[in-house]
Amino acid sequence: MNQTHSDLLGRLNLDSLPITALIKNPGTNEIVANVAGLVMLVGVLVVLFILTKFRLWRPLWSDWLTSTDHKKIGIMYVVFGIMMLARGVIEGVVMRAQQAMGAGSGFLEPDHFAQLFSTHGTIMVFFVAVPFVLGYINFVMPLQIGARDVAFPVMNQISLGLTVAAGMILMVSLVVGEFSTGGWTAYPPYTGARFNPGVGPDYWIWAIVVSGVGTTLSGINFAVTIYKMRAPGMLLSRMPLFCWTVICSSILIIFAMPPLSVAALLLGADRYMDFHFFTNDLGGNMMNYANLFWLFGHPEVYLLVLPVYGMYSEIVSTYSAKRLYGYLSLVIATMSIAVLSFTVWLHHFFTMGQSALINAVFGIATMLIAIPTGVKVYDWMATMYRGRIRFNVPMIYLVGFLILFVIGGLTGVILASPTVDFQVHNTLFLVAHFHNVLIPGVLFGLLAGYNYWFPKAFGFRLNERLGKLTAYLWIVGFMITFLPLYVVGLMGMPRRSYSYTDTEFVPWLVLAFIGALMILSALLVFLEQLRVSIRDRDQNRVPFGDPWDARTLEWSISAPPPEYNFAIIPTVTKRDAFAEAKITGQAYGSDDAYEDIKLPKNTPVGIMLCVLSGVWMFALVWWIWWLVALVTALIFLLVIGWSFFVDNERVIPAAQVRQEHQAWLAKLKATPPVDRDKEFSPENLGYAKTELAGDA
């Protein structure tokens, strides 16, 4: 990296582009880097072309980018997550290919390989799992508690804008300059200015800081929504379990994101202003970084996995046509995990020099987490017991999860023992472990939830056959990829190795590469399922909104839901309110209590902050100081100026709400309800002849 810099462009110059490297030093490594950049540029051009050709700019702007509707913001989060997932998976396959090429060979240079595992980790955690989870929470939670929006709709839009801007700056790092080589944890002093003077760690720092602000604001938003905006009668003890997991997850966000922001900002202070928080010399202390990072890092795992547990709980109960077993124990288990998650961070660095006693305390605390998790696994199985189970796509993911997650959990208990950890730390055993909990634990749940809630969001069901194929490819692909890594890990292969000498690893790594190809094909079939489903949407419409004979309030309204969600805010008298209403025949009633509904107006503030913060990060990374100052001033002006728009609400008159709702009810009453045998036939318009009965 050329370190000369000008006033106008900072340290940005021609050498920052990968094409320069290709011209100067042609080889496979540079070709891979250039192809990656090219694919991204082509992707951007294709999107721009489609938007222009089909004249989608105006609807994109007025229906989506400026919308404050929590449902649309949720969908945009998930679309962003899918985009980033594609990049993350491809990077994973390239890394598996590199290691499968055998001892001492391969096609990537060490630096490039290091960028790959750094971006792969950063993307998968911060720009796949987080946006996916936040997206689902955004879409589902307000509907489940009977609210018309989240507590702070504009702040919600800003959260999305900041997260997307940070993801985009990661994409930019593919084409301009290079990303960090310090892993997703970015430990100093390696990532400090002395050992890493280039732009890589700076890309990481600003992406983390900006997306961290976005996530924190989301956490505050969700917590306040649940505490203050539940429908009448929706006591905490009557909330769907998903909402319970969301409240725990929000609390984790509120308390656990600040340590990450502090860690990244202080690392930034070291790099930009010659501070000495984490340097080797002059009293810096990198252990502070390790503590800060994992003080965030461990709760982070649970803030991702808890909402997914909630989704599994909804799914298992719907597709078993049974009430969720052990609701109270699941709530207590969720809360226990949330609390315990703050007491275990040190197990991420058992080998970094603290006393045996401290290691033992944290090891035992870590093992304790297996207890509430075990309670949950038994509760889900007990829910299935003697239920009328339908093996729809989400249930396939659920069963895959139950089996594989237990294995992942057990290897976690193994790693929780400091003595064992000393043997296998920093090996592929660890890599296998955390993929084993995060893929079945988070990703499978997200894919299950995608199949489950998609009809609610878009008004038509997804193709079941391709959905099943995707699920099996993911499950088998996961096993073939990651179970061999346990073996090579135990054989002593260090993680993050671009090369190695022991030929005994080769067959296992080739196997893992085959598994990675299966995962890649799972991703492709997943996209194909979406394409086919959109093509066939007219045969799969579910306007009445309840295609799965489900239990919670979001299924009681049309699909897609009206922008105000509920024509009349429901009054809740029992847990699983919609199931209860269906059993007693009171669903789809109307007591004519329509009122004018106030909704927030559209505003461009979120998308403007998205663009400005994107430019701000880029300018900071490349030391373009005049631009940093300019954009900072613009951000202040925007926020202050926006605070002068005090008239932010628009009204939907009661007459319009009545007319829309009554028209929908009339159509529903004129349609015969369908039973579960016809779940996948075009006759399933989302009006379920319920199988639920008695106290179910």
Partner 1 sequence: MSMRHRYRHPGLNLTDTPDEHLAKNETTIFGFWVFLMSDLIFFGLMFAIYITSIGATAGGPRPHELFDFTSLAIQTVLLLTSSLTVGFASLVLKFDAKSGNLIVWLLVTLLLGLGFLFFEIRDFIEIAAKGGVPSRSGYLSAFYGLVLLHGLHVAMGCLWLVVIMIQIQVFGLINVVTTRLIRFALFWHFLDLIWIGIFSVVFFGGLHFG
The residues of the shown chain that bind partner 1, judged by CB under 8 A, are 151-152, 216, 219-221, 223-224, 227-229, 254-255, 257-259, 261-262, 266, 269-270, 273-277, 279, 281-285, 288, 292, 295, 636, 640, 643-644, 646
**β partners of residue 688:** 674
Q: How many residues does the chain have?
A: 696
CA atoms within 13 A on the CB side of 435: 25
Cβ neighbours for 276, distance < 8 A, ≥ 6 positions apart: 270, 282, 283, 284
Omega of the bond prior to 189 within 30 degrees of 0, cis? yes
Q: Which of 668, 603, 483, 566 is nearest to 229 (CA)?
A: 566
Q: Give least dist CB 248 to partner 1, A.
A: 15
Task: Please report, as a single letter, which amino acid is at residue 663.
Answer: A
Neighbouring CB atoms inside 10 A of 381's CB total 13
Cβ neighbours for 67, distance < 8 A, ≥ 6 positions apart: 73, 157, 602
Q: Give least dist CB 621 to partner 1, A.
A: 21
Burial classification of residue 315, based on how many CB atoms lie within 10 Å of its CB (0-12 exposed, 13-18 middle, 19 or more buried):
buried
Residue with smaller CB distance to partner 1, 103 or 269: 269
Residue with smaller CB distance to partner 1, 265 or 389: 265
Q: In the numeric block, which tokens belong to residue 278? A: 């984490």
Residue with smaller CB distance to partner 1, 86 or 151: 151
Q: Give least dist CB 640 to partner 1, A.
A: 6
Query: What letter does residue 240 receive in the DSSP assignment?
Result: -
Q: Give least dist CB 283 to partner 1, A.
A: 3
- Separation of alpha carbons 68 and 73, rounded Å: 7
Residue with smaller CB distance to partner 1, 41 or 287: 287
Phi, psi of 321 (to 5 degrees): 50, 45
Q: Give least dist CB 252 to partner 1, A.
A: 11
Task: Please give the span between the terminal C-alpha atoms of the chain, in angstroms, as a whole number.
Answer: 65
Q: Give least dist CB 271 to partner 1, A.
A: 12
Identify whether the C-beta of residue 311 lies closer than 8 Å to the C-beta of residue 448.
Answer: yes
Q: Give least dist CB 298 to partner 1, A.
A: 15
**β partners of residue 427:** 494
Residue with smaller CB distance to partner 1, 329 or 648: 648
Q: Give least dist CB 693 to partner 1, A.
A: 37
Identify whether the C-beta of residue 587 lies closer than 8 Å to the C-beta of residue 581.
Answer: yes
Q: Give least dist CB 282 to partner 1, A.
A: 4
Q: Is 674 helix (H, G, I), strand (E, B) or coil?
A: strand
Residue with smaller CB distance to partner 1, 14 or 282: 282
Residue with smaller CB distance to partner 1, 41 or 593: 593
Residue with smaller CB distance to partner 1, 36 or 160: 160
Neighbouring CB atoms inside 10 A of 610's CB total 24
C-alpha distances out from residue 629 to 516, 613, 616, 619, 633, Å: 45, 12, 9, 9, 6
Q: Give least dist CB 574 to partner 1, A.
A: 24
Residue with smaller CB distance to partner 1, 83 or 150: 150
Residue where the block lists tokens 């993680």: 495
C-alpha distances out from residue 117 to 127, 193, 328, 592, Å: 14, 21, 41, 58
Cβ neighbours for 667, distance < 8 A, ≥ 6 positions apart: 543, 544
Q: Give least dist CB 81 to partner 1, A.
A: 24
Identify whether the C-beta of residue 493 lies closer than 8 Å to the C-beta of residue 427.
Answer: yes
Query: Which pairs with CB-CB distance under 8 Å and at least 24 residues apart come from 659-664?
Result: 660/562, 660/567, 661/567, 661/568, 661/590, 661/594, 662/590, 664/543, 664/544, 664/558
Q: Which of 216, 206, 221 is nearest to 259 (CA)?
A: 216
- Separation of alpha carbons 321 and 81, rounded Å: 31
Residue with smaller CB distance to partner 1, 276 or 468: 276
Residue with smaller CB distance to partner 1, 281 or 592: 281
Q: Give least dist CB 490 to partner 1, A.
A: 36
Q: Give least dist CB 253 to partner 1, A.
A: 9
**β partners of residue 89:** none
Identify whether the C-beta of residue 488 lies closer than 8 Å to the C-beta of residue 509.
Answer: yes
Q: Give least dist CB 62 to partner 1, A.
A: 25
Q: Give least dist CB 659 to partner 1, A.
A: 24
Q: Give least dist CB 346 to partner 1, A.
A: 15
Q: Is 616 helix (H, G, I), strand (E, B) or coil?
A: helix
Q: In the numeric block, which tokens belong to residue 59? A: 């609807």
- Separation of alpha carbons 113 and 499, rounded Å: 10
- Separation of alpha carbons 79 and 68, rounded Å: 17
Residue with smaller CB distance to partner 1, 225 or 602: 225
Phi, psi of 682 (to 5 degrees): -60, -20
Q: Give least dist CB 31 to partner 1, A.
A: 42
- Separation of alpha carbons 269 and 266, rounded Å: 5
Residue with smaller CB distance to partner 1, 641 or 682: 641
Neighbouring CB atoms inside 10 A of 678's CB total 11
- Separation of alpha carbons 29 and 90, rounded Å: 16
Cβ neighbours for 61, distance < 8 A, ≥ 6 positions apart: none
Residue with smaller CB distance to partner 1, 3 or 643: 643
Residue with smaller CB distance to partner 1, 20 or 288: 288
Residue with smaller CB distance to partner 1, 250 or 373: 250
Q: Give least dist CB 645 to partner 1, A.
A: 10
Residue with smaller CB distance to partner 1, 269 or 652: 269
Residue with smaller CB distance to partner 1, 123 or 151: 151
Identify whether the C-beta of residue 337 lies closer than 8 Å to the C-beta of residue 372.
Answer: yes
